[in-house]
Chains A and B, each alone.
Chain A
Amino acid sequence: MSHLNYPKPVRKIELVGVDVYIISPELPKLPKKVGPFHLDIISNRGLKVYPGPTPEALCVNWWRCRYKADSPITDKDVDNFVLELSPHFWWSAVQKLWNYDGEPGFTVAY
């Protein structure tokens, strides 16, 4: 439905990964690979804490863990990803990551 006469640009949407938000008092020890996904980055309050050295920063018990796909994926792969992680980690939300016209539709942690 369009209330205004401004045509919405048509954008090519491609599923490329998933952000899973995990509740843990410490940096969660996550598998590097889950199905077609690899662990790309973990951030806390927007600050990258994995990979690389852990910064001298306040961390809270809520970690954004970004998994990216090595090959083309579908929603079913995300379902399986959640099923595989869920018994081992307490998570609060999962956000699919899409590229729009080849550009990431998500920000990168500092």
Chain B
Amino acid sequence: MAKYTITVIPGEGTGPEIWECVQMILDASGVDLSYEYADAGLPAVEKYGYPVPPETIESIKKNKVCMKGPTTTPVGFGHKSANVTLRKALDLYANVRPARSIPGVKTPWQNIDLVGIRENTEDSYAAIEHWVSDEVAQCLKVITRPGSLRIIDYAFKYARAHNRKKVTVVHKANIMKITDGLFLNCGREVAAHYPNIEFQDLIVDNMAMQLALKPYLYDVICLPNLYGDILTDLMAGLTGGLGFAPGAIIGDNYAMFEAVHGSTPKYIGMKRVNPSAVLQAAIMMLEHIGEKEAAQRVYHAMCAVLAEGKKVTADVGGTCTNEEYAKAIVERLKAA
């Protein structure tokens, strides 16, 4: 029996082929992993009639940790989002989005090392929308004190655990004085318990500008759900785009690791989609289960292959398939 069993949702589109690449690398990491496969998204809708079957939830509850590939959510109609369903069913409230410069990945900025901590269960995502007249639709933005305290406390705990120096809490309390004011005040309240970590608050539009102008000034950035949805993608754009953007969604009992990008169905079978985002999510997963040394080895092997630039995918100037890129990382791991 393997030391760790991980629930794996390979996802849609190019998700399964990307997972094969990542599994190849994980298998070479020396960590004793086994995988329990589960459905979510469109395949689950076709099979069960809903995006996340109870078997998938039970598998994650049993194994505590899940690797999830991309799933598709129809825009404006159709089935509910598998992502949001999983987040809510497992109370995965902290979306952790590192954005770190990687050698060999050309971006306007170098030496960026940001972590976005996005609240992931409330705000305008509480699914409370109504047509209140035949020409007015409303969506309730729900900000709660317990929900705000726990995400901001998570951000400070994350900063402390990862030896980070500053937490920036983002809001629009100058306009939404009650809802965002609550989030900001929770930030001040939590910060008082972490005197060794610098606390800063910024209005969300200023935060966006600062990220474009001086991203190197920031460290851990904690945001409500909607601002976090937008600005964590901006942060990903600073460090190579969604092809290099991993995400973890963490709760008190369970954790899910995923790429942020979509399922890129037009590239199915072409083996050209860069698996680095899912690979970095897998590295976060290794850290989460306590395999920090293996996580570092895999990360350095990935960075070495990217910095060399010979066996990389087309999005970073190479000509290799994602399988060849994954094999190059495996070779690095074996040589280390």
Contacts and interface: CB of A to CB of B under 8 A. Distances in A.
Binding site secondary structure of chain A: loop
A60 B146 contact: yes
A46 B131 contact: no
A100 B134 CA distance: 8
A108 interface: yes
Interface in B77-103: 80, 84-85, 88-91, 93
A19 B129 CA distance: 11
Contacts of B132: 95
Interface residues of B, number: 27
Contacts of A107: 127-130
B141 to A, nearest CB: 11
Contacts of B91: 55-58
A18 B5 CA distance: 45
B122 A11 contact: no
Contacts of B131: 98, 100, 105-106
A109 interface: yes
Interface in B120-140: 121-122, 125-132, 134-135
Interface residues of A, number: 25
A56 B93 CA distance: 12
Contact of B146 (A56, A58, A98): A58
A60 B144 contact: yes
A46 B135 CA distance: 24
A108 B127 contact: yes
Contact of A46 (B90, B127, B134, B253): B127
A47 B85 CA distance: 9
B300 interface: no
Nearest to B92: A57
B183 to A, nearest CB: 14
A16 to B, nearest CB: 12
Interface of A: 8, 11, 13, 19, 43, 45-47, 55-58, 60, 62, 64, 95, 97-98, 100, 105-110
28 contacts: A8-B134, A8-B135, A11-B134, A45-B121, A45-B147, A46-B121, A46-B122, A46-B127, A46-B128, A47-B88, A47-B121, A55-B89, A55-B91, A57-B88, A57-B89, A58-B93, A58-B147, A60-B145, A60-B146, A95-B130, A100-B131, A106-B130, A107-B128, A107-B130, A108-B80, A109-B127, A110-B85, A110-B89
